[in-house]
Amino acid sequence: MRIAIAQNNYTVGDIQRNLELIKSSVKQAELDNADIVVFSELSLCGYPPEDLLLRPDLYTIIDNAVEDLLALDSQVAMVIGHPIKEAEGLFNVATVIHRGQLLVQYKKQLLPNYSVFDEKRYFESGSEDCVFEFKGLKLGLLVCEDLWYPEPTARVKALGADILLSPNASPYCYGKGTLRSAEMGSRARENELPIVYVNQIGGQDELIFDGCSAVYNEEGQRIFQMAEMAEDFAYIDFDPKTGAIKPSKPYLNQFHGEEEIWQALVLGVRDYAHKNGFKGALLGLSGGIDSAVTLAVAVDALGKENVNAVMMPFRYTASMSIEDAEEEAKALGIEFDVISIEPMYEAFMSQLSHQFKDTEADLTEQNIQARCRGTLLMALSNKFGRLVLTTGNKSEVAVGYCTLYGDMAGGLDVLKDVSKTMVYRLARYRNTVSQVIPERVITRPPSAELAPDQKDEDNLPPYDILDAILEAYVEQDKSLDDIIALGHDEEVVRRVIRLVDINEHKRRQAPPGIRITQRAFGRDRRYPITSGFGRQFKS
């Protein structure tokens, strides 16, 4: 049997576009003389559709799309994913269509409801296993979460399946590929059952789907893998008598380390901009490490002709910052402007002079600088239709070292889930591809340059210490005592934890950011704004 694998980049809610992608893949499968083509989970509506699933009119559009696929009367069977509403409730299904007939419909049994998943908010669990006969073979169906536990696969094997087909929408985080492969390999090996694992590809808001669709033989070996962070199409020839599996193209290796994270960020920026209709992107280029890395990601994602940057100096901006920003822009070949914020700042201070009389300068004046810059960038975005990329990293966002309506003003925070220490590693990596970030940007002490001779470490612990504490508290949910036991100073830990907890209000108003860790701010980590929990950590 020839089984085609369609790793497509769907757009949530754009059923017509998704339908056309499916039809195009069916045509390719026909040209390749495939017997069946498998698509990813909820391929018709895209994943995750979230509260679109609560709209009654969605199902009219979905039903029409299914009818459209039935009308193809294709000689190639297709396994498509979509929601279906029945009297018993809403189900996440994999539907098999062949020659204008609906052969079977499998309802996903295990519904994830943790981390970024909310499937129990919408779906009911299916209760029946699915093995169906097609061209002399018995094909099993399971959807995504069903494969992460042993029992569903064992039941499919007990029903006599020769091979298992599995549509998936498995979101990316760093290291997920290794974990995923180990689990899928275990299911195949435990049951001596080959598995065709088809995953979604593309960016959807803060989520990345990395593709890496794969085939595992009955010994649990991953014998074939498709592209990572890119669309792909392939097929395998499966001989049930010998168990032989022959792919149509070479095995594609996964990215590793900083390259893997870089490619995820590039995919996230590209899809967020394109799927939301932006003509390009722009950002404030400060001469610092965060904006330098953000700029390079944007150019790799969208092309130099679609990215522009603005340096917005003030009296505290070092000359080296302007020089380095100019060098970065020149190296990447982008449009670059310099607009001083001095006149705008002075106008604000003049208008506020009566209210501010007899007060000392404090963070207020620093925040006004940041808000002048945010206003400039948003004006350029409105005028030219480009997406503003903010440049705050996870370390800063965690402790609130950022300004609401200032450097947080924008549409997408590229580094929102990237720690400061990882930002440096990404800069080093990108310079191995081509030298685009000046060495001085990487080696100089980081500074917001909102006050004379200001350095980040005047206000924060050294980033290697801060990031270790944040990883323990934010990503691993370790307690105060647990983190101190790791060797960190108690006073520093208390301060960092308190800063994380009291700045939830900022994160709620921040733009979305691309998720690369197992615990990102946003839909992945949902904490109350109004909370007394952090008060216990006062020194």
The residues annotated with a catalytic role in the active site are 41, 108, 144
d(CA 26, CA 41) in angstroms, rounded, equals 16
> What CA–CA distances, in Å, run from 50 to 13, 88, 198?
10, 20, 21
Q: How would DSSP label each residue in 147-216? A: GGSHHHHHHHHHTT-SEEEEEE--B--TTHHHHHHHHHHHHHHHHT--EEEEE-EEEETTEEEEB--EEE
Nearest-CA neighbor of 226 among 247, 244, 202?
247
What percent of the residues of the chain are helix, what percent strand, and what percent coil, each to the nearest 5? 40, 20, 35
367 annotated to bind ligand: yes
Burial of 257 (0-12, 13-18, 19+ CB in 10 A): exposed
**286 carries a ligand binding annotation:** yes
24 annotated ligand-binding residue: no
Q: What phi and psi, each to the nearest 5 degrees, are found at residue 200? A: -70, 155
Q: Does residue 150 have a cis bond before it (omega within 30 degrees)?
A: no
Nearest-angstrom CA–CA distance, 536 and 443: 37
Ligand-binding annotation for 396, yes or no, is yes
353 annotated to bind ligand: no
Q: Structure tokens of 163?
A: 């091979």
Q: Are 500 and 461 in contact (CB under 8 A)?
A: no
81 in a known ligand binding site: no
User: Residue 385, annotated ligand binder?
Assistant: no
- The H or E element containing residue 38 is strand 36-38
Please tell me whether 506 is known to bind a ligand.
Answer: yes
C-alpha–C-alpha distance, residues 22 and 69, integer Å: 9
Structure tokens at 135: 């061209």
The string of DSSP codes covering 384-448 is HTEEEEE---HHHHHHT-S-TTTTT-SSEETTTTS-HHHHHHHHHHHHHHS--S-HHHHHSPP--
Element containing residue 375 per DSSP (H, E): helix 363-384
Helices (H), 99-163: 119-122, 150-158
Q: How far apart are CA 308 and CA 293, in angstroms?
A: 14
Residue 386 CA to residue 511 CA, distance in Å, equals 15
183 annotated as belonging to a binding site for a ligand: no
211 among the known binding-site residues? no
Q: Tell me if 327 is assigned to a ligand binding site.
A: no
Whether 394 has a binding-site annotation, put simply, is no
Rounded Cα distance, 446 and 159, in Å: 61
> Exposure string (b/e) for 500-522, b if CB count within 10 Å is 16 or more?
bbbbbebbeebbbbbbbbebbbb
Q: Which residues have a Cβ under 8 Å from the Cβ of 253 and sit 6 or more positions away? A: 225
Give the up-direction half-sphere exposure of residue 267: CA atoms within 13 A in the CB hemisphere: 26
Q: 520 — phi, psi (to 5°)? A: -100, 155
Question: Is residue 287 part of an annotated ligand binding site?
Answer: yes
Instruction: Give the residue numbers of the binding site for ATP.
Output: 284-291, 391
Instruction: Give the residue numbers of the binding site for L-glutamine.
Output: 114, 170, 176
Instruction: Give the residue numbers of the binding site for deamido-NAD(+).
Output: 367, 396, 506
Instruction: Give the residue numbers of the binding site.
Output: 114, 170, 176, 284-291, 367, 391, 396, 506
